[in-house]
Structure 1
Amino acid sequence: MWTYPILLLVHLLAATFWVGGMAVMLFCVRPAAVATLAAPQRLPLMADTLRRFLRGVVLAVLAVWASGLGMIEVAGGMAVVLRHVHLMLALGLAMTLLYGLVAHQAMPRLRAAVDRQDWPAGGAALARIRMLVSVNLGLGVAVYAVALLGRTWAVR
């Protein structure tokens, strides 16, 4: 009886942390750091802030997938869910892959550049992260739109 609402709550909280966190990083933290700090201070701050955020995102990603798949199971499986759920799964997979690129490719480059105090390389790594996170934020907003509008499409 309470299974679906609890799974939905976990799903929404985790997705909000992930998507909202990307928005905060892109629109608040990064611009403030650029406006107030030189590269030798800004890049270590951003590397540490992103490291902490990505640690939380890995938990959010796991929670989103576990709760989402759990909701599908409670609803009766993939064969009975509406088509918009399949679209949300595809978008979520793309988001997860982009998260993997940030966490396992771009972030190690940023950390290595900061450790070497190679500010141009650090700036390039941070620009790559910003691009990937921007795309991922767009996908996250699309998932929210599909989730809200999908039931109105009612197409199986």
Structure 2
Amino acid sequence: MTFVPAFLVLLHLLAAAFWVGGMAVMHFAVRPAAVAMLEPPLRLPFMAAALGRFFVGVSVSIGLSLATGVAMIMLAGGMRQLHWSVHAMLALGLVMMAIYGHIRFGVYPKLQRAVVAREWPAAAGRLNLVRRLVALNLALGVLVFALAVLGRAL
């Protein structure tokens, strides 16, 4: 593999690792620690702020994943030239992006508004929806990594 394709793969993997790894950290470490240590009036604004910061990185990761993915597809000669596992990874990635879009532009603004209004039950409900959608996206992300590693063997 020459430098350009290898560099595209590196950027693509770093973007995916940030997104999927970040979801794992938020889901399995940050949220449980916040629940254990903070009461709702502190926990909900903290989680909203943490998610806001994470979403900036996720947005960059998505843009980078799309750009490098399209570049790699073009370098390979188009989708017809690629193994079915690449088609599956692209489809799952697009589903993940749609879920992220729903979280970021649908659920999260409602969470922010509820936090600002100090409507803790409403904020907790929105945060719980974010948690469930992140869990789904995390599972899809792990599946994408599995396809990336094992796809050609299947």
Shorter-chain TM-score tier: over 0.9
Task: Name the structure 2 match of 1:82.
Answer: 83
CA distance in 2, matches of 1:42, 1:68: 37
- The secondary structure found in structure 2 opposite 1:139 is helix
TM-score by length of 1: 0.97
Matched letter for residue 96 of structure 1 = M
Task: Name the structure 1 match of 2:137.
Answer: 136
CA distance in 2, matches of 1:84, 1:123: 38
User: Superposition pairs for residues 21-100 of structure 1, below 5 Å?
Assistant: 21-100=22-101
Higher mean C-alpha displacement, 63-72 vs 37-46: 63-72
TM-superposed deviation, 1:2: 1.2
Unaligned segments of structure 2, at least 5 residues: none
Matched letter for residue 53 of structure 2 = R
CA RMSD of aligned residues (A): 0.6
CA distance in 1, matches of 2:5, 2:31: 37
TM-score by length of 2: 0.98
Matched letter for residue 38 of structure 1 = E
CA distance in 2, matches of 1:79, 1:92: 18
Q: Give deviations 1:52-73, integer Å, cap 9, x for gaps.
A: 0001100000101111111111
Q: Give deviations 1:1-29, integer Å, cap 9, x for gaps.
A: 31110100000000000000000000000
Task: Name the structure 1 match of 2:3.
Answer: 2
Unaligned segments of structure 1, at least 5 residues: none
CA distance in 2, matches of 1:2, 1:109: 45
TM-superposed deviation, 1:76: 1.4
Q: Give deviations 1:73-92, integer Å, cap 9, x for gaps.
A: 11111110111100001100
